[in-house]
Amino acid sequence: MNKKKIQFIINPISGIGRHKLIEKYIDNKIDKTVFDYNISYTKHPLHGTQIAGEAIKNNYKIIVAVGGDGSINEIAQKLIGSNTILGIIPTGSGNGLAHHLNIPVNILQAIDVINNLKTIKIDTAAINNNIFVSIAGVGFDAQVAKKFAKARRRGFLTYFKIVTKEYPRYKPKNYELIIDGKKINREALFISFANSDQFGYNTTIAPKAEIDDGLIDVCIVKKFPLVELPFIANLLYWKQIDKSKYVEVIKAKKIKLTQEKNKTINLDGEAVKLGKVLNIKINPLSLKIIVP
Protein backbone atom coordinates (compact mmCIF):
# COMPACT_ATOMS: atom_id res chain seq x y z
CA MET A 1 0.00 0.00 0.00
CA ASN A 2 1.29 3.43 -0.93
CA LYS A 3 1.74 5.64 2.09
CA LYS A 4 0.06 9.05 2.24
CA LYS A 5 2.52 11.95 2.15
CA ILE A 6 1.95 14.37 5.01
CA GLN A 7 3.71 17.70 5.54
CA PHE A 8 3.85 19.26 9.03
CA ILE A 9 4.44 23.02 9.07
CA ILE A 10 5.46 24.26 12.51
CA ASN A 11 5.30 27.90 13.56
CA PRO A 12 8.08 28.07 16.18
CA ILE A 13 6.86 31.35 17.71
CA SER A 14 3.16 30.52 18.00
CA GLY A 15 1.41 30.28 21.33
CA ILE A 16 3.35 29.55 24.48
CA GLY A 17 6.24 27.37 23.30
CA ARG A 18 4.66 23.94 22.99
CA HIS A 19 6.29 23.48 19.58
CA LYS A 20 9.58 22.46 21.23
CA LEU A 21 8.59 18.82 21.66
CA ILE A 22 6.52 18.51 18.49
CA GLU A 23 9.06 16.59 16.41
CA LYS A 24 9.44 13.97 19.13
CA TYR A 25 5.68 13.66 19.56
CA ILE A 26 5.11 13.30 15.83
CA ASP A 27 7.80 10.66 15.46
CA ASN A 28 6.43 8.64 18.38
CA LYS A 29 2.72 8.98 17.64
CA ILE A 30 2.11 9.28 13.89
CA ASP A 31 1.00 6.05 12.22
CA LYS A 32 4.05 5.22 10.10
CA THR A 33 2.25 2.34 8.40
CA VAL A 34 -0.08 4.91 6.82
CA PHE A 35 1.94 8.12 6.58
CA ASP A 36 5.27 9.21 5.14
CA TYR A 37 5.90 12.57 6.80
CA ASN A 38 8.09 15.63 6.53
CA ILE A 39 8.52 18.52 9.01
CA SER A 40 9.28 22.15 8.14
CA TYR A 41 9.50 25.32 10.25
CA THR A 42 8.30 28.77 9.26
CA LYS A 43 10.91 31.52 9.42
CA HIS A 44 8.93 34.65 8.55
CA PRO A 45 5.37 35.86 7.87
CA LEU A 46 3.67 34.03 4.96
CA HIS A 47 6.41 31.40 4.92
CA GLY A 48 3.70 28.84 5.73
CA THR A 49 1.96 29.74 2.47
CA GLN A 50 5.19 29.18 0.56
CA ILE A 51 5.94 25.83 2.22
CA ALA A 52 2.37 24.64 1.61
CA GLY A 53 2.63 25.54 -2.08
CA GLU A 54 5.88 23.60 -2.43
CA ALA A 55 4.38 20.62 -0.59
CA ILE A 56 1.43 20.51 -2.98
CA LYS A 57 3.82 20.52 -5.96
CA ASN A 58 5.62 17.58 -4.36
CA ASN A 59 2.38 15.60 -4.09
CA TYR A 60 1.80 15.91 -0.35
CA LYS A 61 -1.87 15.07 0.16
CA ILE A 62 -2.16 16.31 3.76
CA ILE A 63 -0.66 19.49 5.20
CA VAL A 64 -0.78 19.99 8.96
CA ALA A 65 -0.66 23.44 10.53
CA VAL A 66 1.16 23.30 13.86
CA GLY A 67 0.32 26.68 15.35
CA GLY A 68 -2.62 28.98 15.91
CA ASP A 69 -5.32 30.53 13.74
CA GLY A 70 -2.79 32.75 11.96
CA SER A 71 -0.71 29.72 10.97
CA ILE A 72 -3.84 27.92 9.76
CA ASN A 73 -4.72 30.98 7.67
CA GLU A 74 -1.33 31.03 5.93
CA ILE A 75 -1.52 27.36 4.99
CA ALA A 76 -5.20 27.31 4.06
CA GLN A 77 -4.61 29.97 1.41
CA LYS A 78 -2.98 27.30 -0.77
CA LEU A 79 -5.49 24.55 0.03
CA ILE A 80 -8.81 26.26 -0.63
CA GLY A 81 -10.62 24.71 -3.56
CA SER A 82 -8.14 21.84 -3.84
CA ASN A 83 -8.14 18.16 -2.88
CA THR A 84 -5.28 18.68 -0.42
CA ILE A 85 -6.42 18.13 3.17
CA LEU A 86 -5.68 20.43 6.12
CA GLY A 87 -4.79 19.00 9.52
CA ILE A 88 -4.40 20.99 12.74
CA ILE A 89 -2.20 20.56 15.80
CA PRO A 90 -3.26 23.59 17.86
CA THR A 91 -0.28 25.21 19.57
CA GLY A 92 -1.41 28.82 19.29
CA SER A 93 -2.63 31.17 21.98
CA GLY A 94 -6.39 31.16 21.40
CA ASN A 95 -6.88 28.26 18.95
CA GLY A 96 -10.36 29.44 17.97
CA LEU A 97 -10.87 27.17 14.96
CA ALA A 98 -9.56 24.09 16.79
CA HIS A 99 -11.94 24.73 19.69
CA HIS A 100 -14.87 25.14 17.29
CA LEU A 101 -14.04 21.83 15.57
CA ASN A 102 -13.38 20.06 18.91
CA ILE A 103 -9.77 19.32 17.94
CA PRO A 104 -7.85 18.59 21.18
CA VAL A 105 -5.23 21.09 22.32
CA ASN A 106 -3.34 18.13 23.76
CA ILE A 107 -0.68 17.46 21.11
CA LEU A 108 -0.73 13.65 21.32
CA GLN A 109 -4.51 13.58 21.09
CA ALA A 110 -4.41 15.96 18.12
CA ILE A 111 -1.99 13.58 16.34
CA ASP A 112 -4.44 10.75 17.03
CA VAL A 113 -7.12 12.78 15.23
CA ILE A 114 -4.79 13.00 12.22
CA ASN A 115 -4.12 9.24 12.35
CA ASN A 116 -7.87 8.58 12.14
CA LEU A 117 -8.09 10.75 9.01
CA LYS A 118 -11.76 11.66 9.26
CA THR A 119 -12.36 14.58 6.89
CA ILE A 120 -15.14 17.06 6.22
CA LYS A 121 -15.53 20.12 4.02
CA ILE A 122 -15.90 23.53 5.66
CA ASP A 123 -16.65 27.04 4.46
CA THR A 124 -13.99 29.73 4.25
CA ALA A 125 -14.50 33.46 3.74
CA ALA A 126 -12.67 36.47 2.34
CA ILE A 127 -12.35 40.21 2.96
CA ASN A 128 -11.28 42.06 -0.19
CA ASN A 129 -10.04 38.68 -1.47
CA ASN A 130 -7.97 38.09 1.68
CA ILE A 131 -8.87 34.67 3.04
CA PHE A 132 -9.99 33.94 6.59
CA VAL A 133 -11.04 30.57 7.95
CA SER A 134 -12.30 31.30 11.44
CA ILE A 135 -13.10 34.93 12.23
CA ALA A 136 -12.35 38.49 11.12
CA GLY A 137 -13.42 41.87 12.39
CA VAL A 138 -13.08 45.61 12.76
CA GLY A 139 -13.02 47.98 15.73
CA PHE A 140 -11.93 47.10 19.25
CA ASP A 141 -11.38 43.45 18.30
CA ALA A 142 -8.82 44.52 15.69
CA GLN A 143 -7.21 47.00 18.10
CA VAL A 144 -6.64 44.16 20.57
CA ALA A 145 -5.21 41.94 17.80
CA LYS A 146 -2.78 44.74 16.87
CA LYS A 147 -1.56 45.17 20.45
CA PHE A 148 -1.40 41.41 21.02
CA ALA A 149 0.80 40.96 17.92
CA LYS A 150 3.36 43.34 19.45
CA ALA A 151 3.32 41.76 22.91
CA ARG A 152 6.44 39.94 24.09
CA ARG A 153 4.42 37.18 25.69
CA ARG A 154 1.42 35.29 24.38
CA GLY A 155 -1.39 33.53 26.24
CA PHE A 156 -4.70 34.45 27.83
CA LEU A 157 -3.23 36.64 30.59
CA THR A 158 -1.57 38.94 28.04
CA TYR A 159 -4.78 39.06 26.00
CA PHE A 160 -6.84 39.89 29.10
CA LYS A 161 -4.44 42.66 30.18
CA ILE A 162 -4.67 44.30 26.76
CA VAL A 163 -8.48 44.15 26.77
CA THR A 164 -8.81 45.68 30.24
CA LYS A 165 -6.24 48.41 29.50
CA GLU A 166 -7.62 49.45 26.12
CA TYR A 167 -11.34 49.14 26.77
CA PRO A 168 -12.02 52.22 28.95
CA ARG A 169 -10.47 54.65 26.44
CA TYR A 170 -11.69 53.05 23.22
CA LYS A 171 -14.42 55.07 21.48
CA PRO A 172 -17.03 53.24 19.37
CA LYS A 173 -16.92 53.88 15.62
CA ASN A 174 -19.63 54.41 13.02
CA TYR A 175 -20.05 51.82 10.28
CA GLU A 176 -22.20 51.51 7.19
CA LEU A 177 -23.09 47.95 6.26
CA ILE A 178 -24.86 46.49 3.25
CA ILE A 179 -25.85 42.97 4.29
CA ASP A 180 -27.22 40.84 1.45
CA GLY A 181 -28.44 44.03 -0.21
CA LYS A 182 -29.94 45.68 2.88
CA LYS A 183 -28.26 48.86 4.13
CA ILE A 184 -27.89 49.58 7.85
CA ASN A 185 -25.81 52.01 9.93
CA ARG A 186 -24.43 51.11 13.33
CA GLU A 187 -22.23 52.64 16.03
CA ALA A 188 -20.25 49.71 17.40
CA LEU A 189 -17.46 48.75 19.74
CA PHE A 190 -16.56 46.11 17.16
CA ILE A 191 -18.06 44.07 14.36
CA SER A 192 -16.99 40.46 13.85
CA PHE A 193 -17.50 38.32 10.78
CA ALA A 194 -17.70 34.82 12.17
CA ASN A 195 -17.29 31.63 10.18
CA SER A 196 -16.56 29.65 13.34
CA ASP A 197 -18.09 30.57 16.68
CA GLN A 198 -15.22 32.09 18.64
CA PHE A 199 -12.10 34.24 18.92
CA GLY A 200 -10.28 31.60 20.93
CA TYR A 201 -9.83 30.91 24.65
CA ASN A 202 -13.41 29.55 24.46
CA THR A 203 -14.78 33.10 24.14
CA THR A 204 -17.78 32.50 21.88
CA ILE A 205 -18.90 35.59 19.97
CA ALA A 206 -21.25 33.78 17.54
CA PRO A 207 -22.93 30.91 19.42
CA LYS A 208 -25.05 29.81 16.46
CA ALA A 209 -22.30 29.99 13.82
CA GLU A 210 -21.87 26.84 11.77
CA ILE A 211 -18.78 26.29 9.70
CA ASP A 212 -20.54 24.51 6.85
CA ASP A 213 -23.82 26.43 6.44
CA GLY A 214 -22.71 28.80 3.67
CA LEU A 215 -23.26 31.84 5.93
CA ILE A 216 -21.25 34.39 7.89
CA ASP A 217 -22.52 35.51 11.30
CA VAL A 218 -22.18 39.31 11.43
CA CYS A 219 -21.82 40.14 15.14
CA ILE A 220 -22.37 43.84 15.93
CA VAL A 221 -21.36 44.69 19.51
CA LYS A 222 -22.14 47.98 21.26
CA LYS A 223 -19.92 49.34 23.99
CA PHE A 224 -21.20 48.36 27.42
CA PRO A 225 -20.44 49.85 30.87
CA LEU A 226 -17.19 48.49 32.32
CA VAL A 227 -19.07 47.33 35.42
CA GLU A 228 -20.90 44.81 33.22
CA LEU A 229 -17.67 43.22 31.95
CA PRO A 230 -17.87 40.17 34.28
CA PHE A 231 -21.45 39.50 33.12
CA ILE A 232 -20.48 39.88 29.44
CA ALA A 233 -17.45 37.63 29.95
CA ASN A 234 -19.73 35.01 31.50
CA LEU A 235 -22.07 35.14 28.48
CA LEU A 236 -19.09 34.74 26.15
CA TYR A 237 -17.84 31.70 28.03
CA TRP A 238 -21.26 30.02 28.24
CA LYS A 239 -22.05 30.67 24.57
CA GLN A 240 -24.95 33.01 25.27
CA ILE A 241 -23.57 36.40 24.19
CA ASP A 242 -26.26 36.69 21.50
CA LYS A 243 -28.80 37.11 24.31
CA SER A 244 -27.18 40.38 25.44
CA LYS A 245 -28.91 43.67 24.60
CA TYR A 246 -25.52 44.95 23.45
CA VAL A 247 -25.16 42.32 20.71
CA GLU A 248 -26.87 41.96 17.33
CA VAL A 249 -26.18 38.94 15.10
CA ILE A 250 -27.19 38.81 11.42
CA LYS A 251 -26.51 35.82 9.18
CA ALA A 252 -25.38 36.71 5.65
CA LYS A 253 -23.65 35.52 2.49
CA LYS A 254 -22.27 38.86 1.35
CA ILE A 255 -21.42 42.05 3.28
CA LYS A 256 -20.03 45.43 2.33
CA LEU A 257 -18.70 47.52 5.22
CA THR A 258 -17.57 51.14 5.02
CA GLN A 259 -15.60 52.52 7.94
CA GLU A 260 -14.50 56.07 8.72
CA LYS A 261 -10.77 55.47 8.28
CA ASN A 262 -8.39 52.82 6.96
CA LYS A 263 -8.28 51.06 10.30
CA THR A 264 -6.65 47.78 11.26
CA ILE A 265 -8.59 44.57 10.56
CA ASN A 266 -8.45 41.38 12.60
CA LEU A 267 -7.96 38.52 10.13
CA ASP A 268 -7.80 35.17 11.95
CA GLY A 269 -6.03 36.87 14.82
CA GLU A 270 -3.56 38.80 12.67
CA ALA A 271 -3.68 42.60 12.40
CA VAL A 272 -3.76 43.90 8.79
CA LYS A 273 -4.95 46.99 6.89
CA LEU A 274 -7.24 46.41 3.91
CA GLY A 275 -8.83 49.81 3.28
CA LYS A 276 -11.91 51.83 4.29
CA VAL A 277 -14.30 49.73 2.19
CA LEU A 278 -14.44 46.01 2.96
CA ASN A 279 -16.23 43.41 0.87
CA ILE A 280 -16.82 40.16 2.73
CA LYS A 281 -18.13 36.98 1.16
CA ILE A 282 -18.43 33.30 1.99
CA ASN A 283 -16.76 30.48 0.03
CA PRO A 284 -19.04 27.48 0.75
CA LEU A 285 -17.46 24.08 1.45
CA SER A 286 -14.12 25.17 0.02
CA LEU A 287 -11.65 23.50 2.39
CA LYS A 288 -11.08 19.84 3.31
CA ILE A 289 -10.07 19.41 6.94
CA ILE A 290 -9.37 16.61 9.42
CA VAL A 291 -11.70 16.52 12.44
CA PRO A 292 -12.31 14.16 15.39
CATH code, domain with 189: 2.60.200.40
Q: Mark whether 236 and 267 lie in a shared domain.
A: yes
Q: Identify the three-state secondary structure at position 27.
A: helix
CA dist., res. 100 & res. 161, Å (int): 24
Rounded (10°) angle between helices 47-57 and 69-79: 40
CA dist., res. 274 & res. 68, Å (int): 22
Contact (Cβ atoms closer than 8 angstroms) between residue 7 and residue 55: yes
Q: Which pLDDT score is estimated for 151?
A: 80
Q: Mark whether 137 and 260 lie in a shared domain.
A: yes
Q: Mark whether 206 and 91 lie in a shared domain.
A: no
Q: 224 φ, ψ to 5°?
A: -115, 155
Q: Mark whether 148 and 112 lie in a shared domain.
A: no
Mention every residue, 6+ apart, whose C-beta is less than 8 A from residue 54: none
Mention every residue, 6+ apart, whose C-beta is less than 8 A from residue 85: 61, 62, 63, 79, 119, 288, 289, 290
Q: Mark whether 101 and 166 lie in a shared domain.
A: no
What are the tens digits of pLDDT across the range 214-245?
999 999 999 999 889 889 989 988 999 999 99
Q: Which pLDDT score is estimated for 1?
A: 66
Q: Identify the three-state secondary structure at position 145.
A: helix
Q: Mark whether 23 and 63 lie in a shared domain.
A: yes
Domain that holds residue 105: 4-117
Q: Which pLDDT score is estimated for 289?
A: 98
Q: Which pLDDT score is estimated for 20?
A: 64
C-alpha closest to that of 48 among 126, 131, 155: 131
Is the model's pLDDT at 182 over the cut of 60?
Answer: yes
Q: Does residue 125 belong to any structural domain of this protein?
A: no
Q: Mark whether 96 and 43 lie in a shared domain.
A: yes
Is the model's pLDDT at 207 over the cut of 70?
Answer: yes
What are the tens digits of pLDDT across the range 43-100?
999 999 999 999 999 999 999 999 999 999 999 999 999 999 999 999 988 899 999 9
CATH number of residue 106's parent domain: 3.40.50.10330
Q: Are strands 173-179 and 135-139 parallel, antiparallel or unpaired?
A: unpaired
Q: What is the overall mean pLDDT for the chain?
A: 93
Q: Which pLDDT score is estimated for 18?
A: 58
Q: Does residue 259 belong to any structural domain of this protein?
A: yes
- Could you tell me the pLDDT band of residue 150, with boundaries at 50, 70 and 90? confident
Q: Identify the three-state secondary structure at position 221.
A: strand
Is the model's pLDDT at 157 over the cut of 80?
Answer: yes
pTM over 0.85: yes
- Could you tell me the pLDDT band of residue 16, with boundaries at 50, 70 and 90? low
